[in-house]
Every structure is written in structure tokens, then in C-alpha cells.
Amino acid sequence: MDTLSPQLQTRIETLLNEHAVVLFMKGEPDSPMCGFSAKAVAMLNHVGVPYHSVDILQDEDLRQGLKIFGDWPTYPQLYVKAELLGGADIMAEMFQSGELATALKSAHT
């Protein structure tokens, strides 16, 4: 898959527009299916800002489509105000510097 179908593009954009913070991850927040998703959830929970999670393991079209949509090959993927912040490593850098908390809190104002 090299391009997104219009339906999948719309579906992703709708999800991102309905929720200020969206984490596309492997598994659910209470049961992450990979270490990187677990780290992402821990950072988001530590900041304490509400977020919407999507288990990409339940939908192969979405899993492959997001790689094209955000031009990001791995999971998790964190979107804030419909913009891709990045994956677990970028989240960790932002968490350490305090930028993650600032970005997440500004999403809800």
C-alpha cells in the first residue's frame, strides 16, 4: 500500500479531529502489546492529560495506512491537535525536557 484510500484518509482525519490527543498503539492502555507502547502510555499517564487510544493491531488497514498518513514507520504514534509528535523515542525526549507536558496541556485549552 503506497497511497491511502479516500475512505481511510477520512477515517484517520475524523479520529484526529474528534480527539485532541490520540495515541495509535499496539494493544490497549491497560494492556500494551509492546514495550514502546507501554512506555508511551506511562508517559501520558504521568502527565495526566486525557487521551484517546487506538489499538492498531485490531485493524490492518489502519495500521498500514497510518504509516503513510504520518510518514512514520513505527508504533506508537502520538498525535496532538491532529499533528504527529512522533513515536516513543521522541515522546521520551519531550517528556524529559518538559515539552510533552506543555504540548499535551495546550491541546486541551
Q: Where are the domains of the chain?
A: 6-107
Which one-letter amino acid corresponds to residue 84? L
CB atoms within 10 A of CB 19: 19
Cα distances from 92 to residues 25, 46, 106, in angstroms, run: 15, 12, 18
For residue 1, pLDDT beyond 60: no
The length of the chain in residues reads: 109
Mean pLDDT of the 59-65 span: 94
For residue 2, pLDDT beyond 90: no
Q: Which residue has the cell 486525557?
A: 50
Output the nine-digit C-alpha cell for 32: 500494551
Cα distances from 103 to residues 1, 24, 50, 83, 91, in angstroms, run: 32, 17, 13, 11, 11
Output the nine-digit C-alpha cell for 33: 502489546
Q: Tell me, which fold does domain 6-107 have in CATH?
A: Glutaredoxin (3.40.30)
**pLDDT confidence bin for 35, thresholds 50/70/90:** very high
Output the nine-digit C-alpha cell for 20: 485532541
d(CA 6, CA 4): 6
